[in-house]
Structure 1
Amino acid sequence: MATIRQRNGHWQCIIKRKGYPTLSKTFELRKDAERWGRQQERAIDAGQWMDRTEAEQTTLGDLLKRYSLEVSSKKRGADVEMIRIEALRRSKLALFSVAGVTSQRLAEWRDQRLEEVSGSTVSRELTLISHVFSVAIREWGFALQNNPVSLIRKPAFEKPRDRVLTEEQRLALLTSVGRCRNHWIRPVVVFALETAARRGEILSLRWDDIDMVRKVAKVSGKTGCRNIPLSPTCISLLKSLPRSHEGRVFPVTAETLKQAYKRAVDRSGIEDFTFHDLRHDALTRLAKMGFNILELRTISGHATANMLQRYVSIDAGDLAGRLAGQKISREGQNLRRVR
């Protein structure tokens, strides 16, 4: 039976059961203390009681910090995820205790966040928060009945971007990045345009990963490791670069690259062209050069053809031109046969 006593103007509920730690909690009102006592005793009787002390005393911000140190730091492309975590830690949601991050609070945060950024961004943030809770429950012993993210609706991802540069825009962009104060920005952009590699893959590339003889580079990213071919432009670029003491091919941080690239795009007069759009542009150009699906997947690292299709823009006008060319070729063959 729970013991209720008044102490220093507050009401304290104490529960002592054999085989369980002594439970106590203080409330402003006696009825709240009695209600809490009944809840704890029912959970003990049903064998469902869990020690929620750590979940109640740890904020989501603290949990995110632990996750970044113990989990994110061991991932490929950790820099990008850590930036996202730091942004989440600055949000009001991070001030709540882990136990206090309910599905209702998450839904309110989601709706407010949707007024600031795209649905795709919010969905990625919720996926990250969900994995943080999963690790906390399964591996760190946080006593939570469920993962609150699993109880709310995630925003739908927006329509895949379809941004490809014209030759004039590509030249304008390369000229603009060439004027960046940080002289590593242009080589990174050129490498991205030539290889369709992701930003994290490029920034984590080391000189030991480059095989100048075979003209391939071993990149590591969210889909694992793979070898990508290096064009003559890439080979020439790599030969011209100085070697950094730390061994990285492009010794620049993700945040520095992000800010410098954004300013360069603004200077070039190109609207709405992100760094990730370079991957889209590169794969589209490779497809036009005649690379087939299997070859493109080897280069891009996509698991399926459907995922690859989001990154390749096929122009119907180009297809019409190819059909016309095939028709003319067939007619020429027929004429030769007649003669």
Structure 2
Amino acid sequence: MAINKVENGRWQADVQPQGRGGKRVRKTFDTKGEAARWTRAQLAAADKGEWVPPQRDKRRLRDLVNIWYKLHGHTLKRGGERRNWLLSLCEMMGDPLAKSVTAEFYAEFRQKRLVGGIKGSKRHRGSITAKTCNHELTYLRAMFNELSRLGKWYSENPLTGLRPLKIDQRELTFLDPDQIKKLLGNL
């Protein structure tokens, strides 16, 4: 059992829960405390005989969207539209592995979309606004949250720390007397 500091100031736990000759498991954490807790949990599970080596999550983001739709999205009023929107986002991102979607990954993707560096899919053509980016972020966050509740996503929501883009509120305007007369005349 070892906990070592690795690149970017993160901590890597390295443990063989079943002892020498058993399967070796490594995982990286942001803090040393998290790494120690995970290590203790792995050893405790091995002592009880319930330890199963963790499997690598090889699912693509597209797979998560389909699982979300099957278990929850179909119950929403516009769930089919939301599913299609999320699938087109997956296509524009290059259908990444779900575990590779991080706040940094999504922020870079969003920036490229805003400056026009990523061509839209059939659904998303032309320029894109900050408001659209915020909607997409909300949809992805909600999908990860629901999959966590359903027990189909075991990590924390990767987009939790990402803030939506600020949008300037439009100032209210009022009709002047000439515009009021014109409006009432047309009515």
State the TM-score bracket (shorter-chain normalisation): 0.5 to 0.7
Say whether 1:103 aligns with 2:114: no
CA offsets 1:157-198 (integer angstroms, 9 cap, x no match): 4546x9xxxxxxxxxxxxxxxxxxxxxxxxxxxxxxxxxxxx
Which whole-Å CA distance do the structure 1 matches of 2:153 and 2:27 have between them?
21
Secondary structure at 2:99 match in 1: coil
1:110 is displaced (CA, Å) by 1.6
State how 1:258-337 maps to structure 2 within 5 Å.
315-317=175-177, 321=181
- CA shift in 2, pair 1:319/1:106, >3 Å: same
**1:85 match:** 86
1:124 is displaced (CA, Å) by 0.5
CA-atom RMSD in angstroms = 3.8
Whether the 8 Å CA contact 2:61–2:95 is kept in 1: the answer is yes
**2:6 match:** none
- Which residue among 152, 174, 179 is the counterpart of 2:162? 152
Length-normalised TM-score, structure 2: 0.59
1:122 is displaced (CA, Å) by 0.8
Which whole-Å CA distance do the structure 1 matches of 2:164 and 2:72 have between them?
23
State how 1:29-68 maps to structure 2 within 5 Å.
36=26, 42-47=36-41, 53=55, 56-68=57-69
Whether the 8 Å CA contact 1:123–1:157 is kept in 2: the answer is no
- CA shift in 2, pair 1:69/1:141, >3 Å: closer
Q: How many aligned residue pairs are there? A: 145
CA offsets 1:75-120 (integer angstroms, 9 cap, x no match): 1123431331221121225312x22212211211121122231111
Identity %: 17
Amino acid at match of 2:87: E
Which whole-Å CA distance do the structure 2 matches of 1:37 and 1:130 have between them?
24
1:126 is displaced (CA, Å) by 0.5
Which whole-Å CA distance do the structure 2 matches of 1:148 and 1:57 have between them?
16
Whether the 8 Å CA contact 1:119–1:158 is kept in 2: the answer is no
Whether the 8 Å CA contact 2:114–2:129 is kept in 1: the answer is yes
**1:94 match:** 95
**1:6 match:** none
**1:120 match:** 131
Whether the 8 Å CA contact 1:120–1:158 is kept in 2: the answer is no
Which whole-Å CA distance do the structure 2 matches of 1:85 and 1:23 have between them?
37
Amino acid at match of 1:137: S
Length-normalised TM-score, structure 1: 0.35
Which whole-Å CA distance do the structure 2 matches of 1:48 and 1:154 have between them?
36
Gaps of 5+ in 2: 3-13, 44-52, 117-127, 182-187
Amino acid at match of 2:104: Q
Richer in helix (by share): 1
